[in-house]
Structure 1
Amino acid sequence: MTFRADDLIERRRLRRKLTFWRVAALFIVAAIVIAASAWFYRGDTGGTAVAHIAKVQIDGTIFQNDELVERLEKIRKSPQVKGVILAIDSPGGTTAGGELIYDEVRKLAADKPVVTQVGSLAASAAYMIASATDHIVARQTSIVGSIGVLIQYPDISGLMDKLGVKLEEVKSSPLKAEPSPFKPTSDAAREMVRKLIMDSYDWFVGIVAERRHMSRDQVLALADGSIFTGRQALANKLVDAIGGEDEAVAWLGTKGVDPKLTVVEWKSSKGNSYFFSNSLARMAARALGLPEDSGDLLRELGADRLFLDGLVSLWHP
């Protein structure tokens, strides 16, 4: 009798263990399926495998950004993306960076309807990018415009004189490495730079005239560096409507996109700002003798603009 009781207890113990491992196995299989699904859908569909409207944030100072270009290309090729919203909040940046993104947005707009939703600011190169879309929506108090190009450089020759520092140079021709921060700009160098700026300015004005269906004279009247509120921009034909994301989605509806589709943000796969990287922010913080975690604060204060090089289309608040 004792043998049979012990045998029964052992069987119950084995049954409990078997039940535990069966449940554990089910949890493990479920976790594997979920992880595999997340990995499979993580990049090409913005985290979802169903039809949706893709949203892309473009904020901060604009640089040449290969990651953003790749992301826009993935959006263009994704059959799940039915329409695209560019959410822009930027003072502009380098003309080359703006041109790169502008060209990619035009490729995207050839395949899918694309609309810009302006937040607080879309100026200079950021407005250039906005003009690549077929419809621009801005808030009444958004800042829009600042159509123009500039190049800036310091003149520290006075400081060098006070410190007793002289610059010696040997160069192949007078305009080589001009303008220089180490001496006052010559008239010839200033004229060379002006020609450079005006050529890019002429190109920028042409883009706005073409994309906004305006005459060149109409654009030139606005392209003196002026900024406008959303309401003023609407009156000047620089934007098409006043509103936010709802109005952007409504416009996509007029282009055959179901306005009931979910708006899904396609984020940077690198996990940092695509204009002023975390590593660059940390480097700037170290250079200023600040803790490395001050990088985000520096980026918010606009320190990224210190690293701009070449022709710039940027609004300075």
Structure 2
Amino acid sequence: MSLDADALVDRRRMRRKLTFWRVLAVLVAVVGIVAVGMALRGRSELGFGEPVSAQIARIGIWGVIRNDQERVEALERLAKSRAAKAVIVHIDSPGGTTAGSEQLHTALRKLAEKKPTVIVVDGMAASGGYIAAMAGDHIVAQGNSIVGSIGVLFQYPNVSDLLKTLGVKVEEVKSSPLKASPNGFEPTSPEARAAIAALVADSYDWFRTMVRERRGIDGELLAKVTDGRVFTGRQGIELKLVDSIGTEETAIAWLAKEKGIDAKLPVRDWKLDPRIGDLSFLHLGGAVLLEAAGLGPLARILGRSGTIQSFESLSLDGLLALWHPAASD
């Protein structure tokens, strides 16, 4: 029996050693692959090696828009690309912060000054998403896409009644009445509300001016399209918010007709955020690593999805150019 016990102990010890060296080998392999991938990225314009032929670049703007300097730098690199003869920007976004939307619009306008740029609205280009869309030379939308929601809001919770119920009082000392107002711990004073209203009005005026100048809309029509509502792509045609109904093929046809771009050029994806975590081979390596560590279910989720999903922050600070029925209606 003692011999059997010793053999079992030795077998377990060998198994642990084997697992350790397997994990170490996977780690070394992943690090090596990442190093090679980053080296290739450093020499490339489109993320994975220097393109050898002319092409149309495809980029995407998805989800909530925030300030993103890495995205700005990626657009600057795209503007300098010799291979990209034109750019198609797919947008599916309800907007986000007003400052982030302004930053994205400015970066896309600089790109459009260098490359013919067409916007394709997939699901929606609402509020800040529409600010981004107006940066293009031409806007294509599907008939049932959502566009518009031209307006600005400033939201904040007020829990003063709840604090009263709980018997909690927040004390504060501040340099002036409007410092840190509104704060949500007390009823909003008329002075604080007026200050926030002035802030929103100034940002809204900026948004309206952009619509008037970029889309050539004025008078009663401008008042109609900037009252905060959303429109379908078909309605957007009549209201001059959209230039044509269609898809990416429609955008390519417009580039060929209006900008002289060869419609047969291949369309290549340009990643605006080629961070390490976006590299599929790293996800695969991570899945293998998790499997070796005994976290099989998580490994299978990672390997299947190719990405680790993260929740969008439920709070956005500052002025918002955002459309969502629960947030804006």
Q: Please, what TM-score do these two structures have when normalized by structure 2?
A: 0.75
1:96 maps to amino acid: A
* Alignment of 1:180 onto 2:183: yes
* SS of corresponding position for 1:208: helix
* SS of corresponding position for 2:124: strand
Q: Which residue of 1 aligns with 2:317?
A: 309
Q: 5 Å matches for 1:41-60? A: 43-47=44-48, 48-60=51-63
Q: 5 Å matches for 1:249-260? A: 249-253=252-256, 254-260=258-264
> Which stretches of structure 1, 4 residues or more, deviate above 2 A after TM superposition?
35-38, 40-43, 45-49, 293-299
Give a deviation string over 1:258-292, Cα, whole Å, max 9, x none. 1111111111211568xxxxxxxxxxxxxxxxx9x
Q: Which residue of 2 aligns with 1:120?
A: 123
Structure 1: any 5+ residue segments left out of the alignment? Answer: 1-34, 274-290
Which of 142, 146, 159 does residue 145 from structure 2 map onto?
A: 142
* Alignment of 1:89 onto 2:92: yes
* Alignment of 1:233 onto 2:233: no
Cα–Cα, structure 1 residues 40 and 90, in superposed 2: closer, same or farther, change >3 Å?
closer
Q: Which residue of 2 aligns with 1:79?
A: 82
* Alignment of 1:263 onto 2:267: yes
Give a deviation string over 1:139-177, Cα, whole Å, max 9, x none. 000000000000100001111112211111111111111
Q: Measure, in 2, the Cα distance between the counterparts of 1:259 and 1:104.
A: 25
**Which structure has the larger Rg?**
1
Which of 59, 62, 65 does residue 65 from structure 2 map onto?
A: 62
Aligned residues: 262
Q: RMSD of the TM alignment (CA)?
A: 2.4
* SS of corresponding position for 1:91: strand
2:320 maps to amino acid: V
1:218 CA drift (Å): 2.5
Structure 2: any 5+ residue segments left out of the alignment? Answer: 1-35, 279-297
Residue identity (%): 50
1:256 CA drift (Å): 1.6
1:252 maps to amino acid: L
* Alignment of 1:202 onto 2:197: no
Give a deviation string over 1:189-246, Cα, whole Å, max 9, x none. 0010000000000000000111101225422221111100010011110000000000
Q: Measure, in 1, the Cα distance between the counterparts of 2:191 and 2:38.
A: 62
Give a deviation string over 1:29-76, Cα, whole Å, max 9, x none. xxxxxx799816864134433211111110010000111111110110
